[in-house]
Amino acid sequence: MAQHFAVVARDGSTRARAAELVTAHGTVQTPAFMPVGTAASVKGLAPWELGRLGPQMVLCNTYHLSLRPGVDAIEGLGGLHRFMGWDGPILTDSGGFQVFSLADRRKLTEEGVTFRSHLDGSELRLTPESCVETQRRLGVDVAMALDVCPALPATRDELERAVATTGRWAARCRAALPPGGPTYLFGIVQGGLDLELRRRSAEELQAIGFEGYALGGFSVGEAPPLMWDAVSACAPMLPEDRPRYLMGVGTVVDIVHAVAAGVDLFDCVIPTRNARNGLLHTSRGPVVLKQARWKLDPGPPDPACECPTCRTCSMAYMRHLYVAGEAAVVVLATVHNLHFYLALMREVRSAIMTGRFAQLRARLAAPGTAGDEET
């Protein structure tokens, strides 16, 4: 068992596990959901509001931060934690996903990828070495290796080449950020829905050796059941004694199925983006703020919720703020939705530790359950 990661409980009937990932900025109790703070800010939340929500770890986007305000600025200001006023664990993505989504504005070579900034059109280059160096300089707790995310739909040949390049780049990332420092490095398994390629990718990465392993290239348009099956097949390909991270996923149902497969870490924009679009995740299912049915409702958004929003605001008030275009509704809805996700993860962890995960999974994965909506 690695020193930085310890499984503390296992579910009896699934591969679900509760674990602890020890970082330089605190211990991440898993399964954990990471709120997305793309540009060093979880949209709408003051740093103290994020602190009060108490996520185990926060995700920031290397691509966005590299372009603005730039890694020199953040490093010079004492690193990303101090910059954004968040003293807990931070994971950054590699920037690869954003660059590869720039489609016609990027060019891939063995050395790396050249692209044009979405801000000013300037030409920039991302290599495995520069990618991890940037994340190391940001001072994050977990850096992600640079991977190749093929545009979909992709042929098997394209997927195979992506896996091969991802493997070679992963080795270069590891060489640029050897084990032992305060910043962990996670490798990213690619291969789409092709399990043979996924296995090859997972084996290549394990041969290199990382502090954790991620499943990339999921939740990119495939039907959820296909993803659930693939994740169930792929998670066991990753070592038992390292954290497993399913990138960019997902809905409550997605998360519960992935936890059952043995995944430990998640990030997704769903709770925060839905909040901005006026959709609340609640124990009674999704709630759309703009609906006229809430106009006179004196009850809280979620009677079962103990977040500051539900303790303070009626649905009538929430709807009023949304309809009137009042900025406070973004704060209130974001606080609620993140609290909902974080409380869910605490409940999942507790269920694993007390042998109740199977029941919880059955309840949460039932059709029409909370959070299974995306705006």
When binding is defined by CB under 8 A, the residue of 33, 63, 83, 100 that contacts its own copies is 83
Are 203 and 187 in contact, with CB atoms under 8 Å apart?
no
User: What mask of x and - would describe binding to its own copies in positions 271 to 310, judged by CB under 8 A?
Assistant: -----x------------------xx-x---------xx-
- The half-sphere exposure of 278 on its side-chain side, counting CA atoms within 13 A, is 17
Amino acid at 327: A
Enumerate residues 26-45 that contact its own copies by CB under 8 A.
Answer: 39-45
Q: Which is closer to its own copies, CB of 79 or CB of 286?
A: 79
Q: Could you give the CA distance from residue 316 to residue 339 in angstroms, rounded to a whole number?
A: 20
Stretch that binds its own copies, among 135-143, 232-240, 314-322, 365-373 (CB under 8 A): 314-322
90/56 Cα distance (integer angstroms): 9
Q: CA angle at residue 270 from 272 to 371, to 5 degrees?
A: 110
16 binds its own copies (CB under 8 A): no
Question: With CB under 8 A, what is the number of residues at the site for its own copies?
Answer: 44
User: Counting contacts by CB under 8 A, is residue 314 touching its own copies?
Assistant: yes
Among 8, 13, 54, 85, binds its own copies (CB under 8 A): 85
Q: Which residue, 69 or 239, has its beta carbon nearer to its own copies?
A: 69
DSSP 171-235: HHHHHHS-TTSSSEEEEEE--TT-HHHHHHHHHHHHHH--SEEEE-S-SSSS-HHHHHHHHHHHG
Phi and psi torsions of 81, nearest 5°: -60, -55
Asked if 47 interacts with its own copies (CB under 8 A), we say: yes
Q: Could you give the CA distance from residue 191 to residue 159 in angstroms, rounded to a whole number?
A: 6
Smallest CA-to-CA distance from 137 within 178, 92, 193, 79 is with: 79
- Minimum distance of its own copies from residue 313's CB (angstroms): 6
Residue from 48, 290, 291, 355 touching its own copies (CB under 8 A): that is 48
Interacting residue with its own copies among 323, 353, 358, 365 (CB under 8 A): 323
N-to-C CA span, the chain: 41
Q: Rounded to the nearest whole angstrom, what is the least distance from the CB of residue 14 to its own copies in the complex?
A: 38
Tell me the C-alpha distance between 225 and 281, whole Å.
21
**Tokens 């097949």, residue located:** 233
Name which of 68 and 168 has its Cβ closer to its own copies. 68
Binding mask 218-257 for its own copies (x = CB under 8 A): ----------------------------------------
- Considering the complex, state which of residue 201 and residue 309 has its C-beta at the smaller distance from its own copies: 309
Q: Which residues are catalytic?
A: 93, 267
Comparison of 94 and 334: residue with beta carbon closer to its own copies: 334
Is residue 269 within the footprint of its own copies (CB under 8 A)? no
Alpha-carbon span 44 to 335, nearest angstrom? 9
The verdict on 69 binding its own copies (CB under 8 A) reads yes
Nearer to its own copies, 50 or 215 (CB): 50
Whole-number Å distance between alpha carbons of 269 and 111: 31
Q: Under the rule (CB under 8 A), what is the footprint of its own copies?
A: 39-49, 64, 68-69, 73, 76-78, 83-85, 276, 295-296, 298, 308-309, 312-314, 316-317, 319-321, 323-324, 326-328, 330-332, 335
